[in-house]
Amino acid sequence: PKFPTPLDQSLESWLRVFSSYESKVNEETVMVGHSLGAAFILNYLEKTSKKIKAAYLVAPFHKLLGVEYDEINKTFLDKEFGWEKIKSSCNKFFVFASDNDKYIPSEVTNDIVEKLGAEFNIVPNGGHLNKESGYGEFYLLLECITIDLD
């Protein structure tokens, strides 16, 4: 989906965009989210009655970070997540993060990994694992999806 960002960026607007895909979500669904997209997946899994096959969370975060982006991210994050409900909505979680992300502190990533019981993949010197950090394409992620879900 093409989510509105940063103009009209809110959990509600993203859920509206995603609603046209909702009927396709089932036990074979694999979701991939980067940064705020990972927070969207957590919110979706907390609300849905469906169960998906796997979620790949890349450079994820689950709370406000005290940075300039908090204001536009708060509808996704200014809450306590229901971790047990999230875990019950997905068979397997994978987290990808770097050891030098300038936006997401490692303790935030580690907390998500622990709360979800996720498989954790650390990418050395990967930055925020975005295009700016040299990850316009993320072959390790593609390889893991292919291997793990075969």
Whether 84 maps to a domain, the answer reads yes
How much is the pTM?
0.95
pLDDT digits (tens, 9 = 90+) for 36-71: 999 999 999 999 999 999 999 999 999 999 989 999
In sequence order, the β-bridge partners of residue 137 are none
What average pLDDT score do residues 24-33 get?
97
Q: How far apart are CA 128 and CA 102, in angstroms?
A: 7
Query: Each residue of 123-145: b (16+ CB within 10 Å) or e?
Result: beebbbbbeebebeebeebeebe
Whether 11 maps to a domain, the answer reads no
pLDDT digits (tens, 9 = 90+) for 104-115: 999 999 999 999
Domain range for 120 is 25-148
CATH of the domain at 30: 3.40.50.1820
Mean pLDDT of the chain, nearest integer: 96
The count of structural domains within the chain is 1
What average pLDDT score do residues 84-89 get?
99
Whether 36 maps to a domain, the answer reads yes
What per-residue confidence (pLDDT) applies to 145? Answer: 94
User: Residue 101 to residues 31, 104, 121: CA-CA distances in angstroms?
Assistant: 22, 6, 14
Q: How far apart are CA 92 and CA 79, in angstroms?
A: 23
The structure tokens listed for 136 are 């316009």
